[in-house]
């Protein structure tokens, strides 16, 4: 057991490692069959390198991002690395978070991924899960002020986003070489982004 933020990061890491083969199989269909292997390697390193006793959330998120940068290897390294580092900057110095920090973090994550990947919504990427998740979180939070319900809504929207990626053509990354043949397959990046969201939701539920 470590600090809460360490435990949360550990839950994310375990979820990714548990889904290594699933993510790799998805990537075999439209990519280079390394997404699960790469992500599991990165999050295994996160478990080893992130100090369990640091309560500074910004620092832990930045360390997670730097570790992913140097260990993932594929495009997900810079993308998730930048996402976690930007999230860390957005909550720099904090030792606790509340519901208001969720959209701040998601905005930083989305901004980081957009900056790095130069993608927009609808290009069959992790953004197709994350942007609807942010929208649904904000909507539900405004309606009910219940962070757990809002996280459920965000995860459901991310799942719908993953389903949506099946219907569209990839225009970014390795899958874009397949053109129309990428239609019918779900995006591995959108899937891993959703797994991360769900791991955070489950962590918050305890």
Partner 1 sequence: MVGLVIVSHSSKIAEGVCDLALQMASGYRQMIPAGGLKDGSLGTDPTRILDAIRSANDGNGVAVLVDLGSGIMSAETAIDLLDGEFPARIADAPLVEGAVVAVIEASTGASLEEVIHAAESAREKKSCNPIIHFHT
**C-alpha dihedral, 130 to 134 to 135 to 141, nearest 10°:** 150
Alpha-carbon gap, residue 168 to 170, rounded angstroms: 7
> Based on CB atoms, which residue is closest to partner 1, 161 or 189?
189
Distances (CA, A) of 48 to 11, 67, 77: 14, 10, 17
Only one of the segments 77-85, 93-101, 131-139, 196-204 lies at the binding site for partner 1 (rule: CB under 8 A); that segment is 77-85
CA angle 165, 167, 169 (to 5 degrees): 75
> Considering beta carbons, is residue 71 or 186 the nearer one to partner 1?
71
Residues 95-134: x where in contact with partner 1 by CB under 8 A, - otherwise, as a string: ---------------------xx-----------------
Among 22-30, 76-84, 88-96, 138-146, the segment contacting partner 1 (CB under 8 A): 76-84
SS (H, E, C) 160-190: HHHHHHCCCCCCCCHHHHHHHHHCCCCCHHH
Beta strands in the chain (DSSP E): none
- Shortest approach of partner 1 to residue 119 CB, angstroms? 11
Backbone dihedral angles phi then psi of residue 92, each to the nearest 5 degrees? -50, 135
Spatial CB neighbours of 166, under 8 Å, sequence gap ≥ 6: 183, 184, 185, 186
Binding of residue 79 to partner 1 (CB under 8 A):
yes
77 touching partner 1, by CB under 8 A: yes
Segment lying near partner 1 (by CB under 8 A), choices 49-57, 70-78, 95-103, 130-138: 70-78
Contact with partner 1 (CB under 8 A) among 55, 69, 178, 204: 69
Residue 71 in contact with partner 1, rule: CB under 8 A: yes
Cα atoms in the 13 Å half-sphere on the side-chain side of 83: 21
Query: Minimum CB separation from partner 1 for residue 175, in Å?
Result: 11
Query: Does residue 173 interact with partner 1 by CB under 8 A?
Result: yes
Query: Which residues here bind partner 1, judged by CB under 8 A?
Result: 38, 66, 69-75, 77-79, 81-82, 116-117, 173-174
């Amino acid at each position: 057991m470590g600090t809460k933020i360490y435990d949360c990061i550990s839950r994310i890491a375990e979820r990714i490692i548990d889904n290594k083969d699933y993510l790799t199989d998805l990537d075999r269909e439209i990519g280079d069959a390394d997404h699960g292997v790469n992500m599991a390697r990165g999050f295994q390193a996160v478990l080893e390198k992130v100090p369990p006793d640091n309560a500074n959330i910004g620092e832990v998120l930045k360390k997670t991002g730097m570790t992913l940068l140097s260990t993932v290897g594929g495009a997900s390294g810079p993308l998730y690395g930048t996402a976690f580092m930007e999230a860390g900057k957005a909550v720099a110095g904090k030792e606790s978070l509340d519901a208001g920090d969720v959209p701040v973090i998601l905005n930083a994550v989305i901004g980081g991924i957009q900056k790095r990947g130069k993608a927009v919504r609808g290009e069959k990427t992790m953004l197709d899960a994350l942007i609807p998740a942010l929208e649904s979180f904000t909507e539900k939070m405004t309606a009910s002020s219940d962070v757990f319900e809002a996280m459920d809504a965000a995860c459901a929207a991310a799942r719908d986003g993953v389903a949506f990626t099946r219907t569209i053509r990839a225009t970014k990354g390795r899958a874009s070489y397949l053109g129309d043949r990428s239609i019918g397959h779900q995006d591995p990046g959108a899937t891993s982004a959703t797994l991360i969201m769900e791991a955070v939701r489950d962590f918050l539920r305890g």
